[in-house]
Amino acid sequence: MQEQVQEVLTKLRPFLLRDGGDVELVDVDDDGIVLIRLMGACGNCPSSTITLKAGIERALRSEVPGVTEIEQVF
């Protein structure tokens, strides 16, 4: 599952880079919880929660079977 998550993040990365940010995959646990770190402008952006939940989580849940939740690591 970790490789599939990384592939989806690679597809999303150009959109984050365009706004001065990036994303790093920290871990995927056995319960399907994906831990990510938003970096650059995305790390402290007031809209980071929307980016995380409405963007990244939606993409991962639709493209990677078994993903249940996304959590941000600081």
What pLDDT sits at residue 73?
Answer: 93
pLDDT, block means (10 residues), the chain with 74 residues? 97 93 96 95 86 92 96 92
Alpha helices in 1-74 (DSSP H): 2-18, 48-50, 58-63
Write out the residue range of the structural domain in which residue 12 sits.
1-72
What pLDDT sits at residue 47?
Answer: 85
What pLDDT sits at residue 53?
Answer: 87
Q: How many domains does the chain have?
A: 1
What pLDDT sits at residue 45?
Answer: 82
pTM: 0.91
β-pair partners for 28: 34
What pLDDT sits at residue 35?
Answer: 97
What pLDDT sits at residue 50?
Answer: 87
Identify the CATH number of the domain in which residue 42 sits.
3.30.300.130
Dist CA 34 CA 67 (whole Å): 7
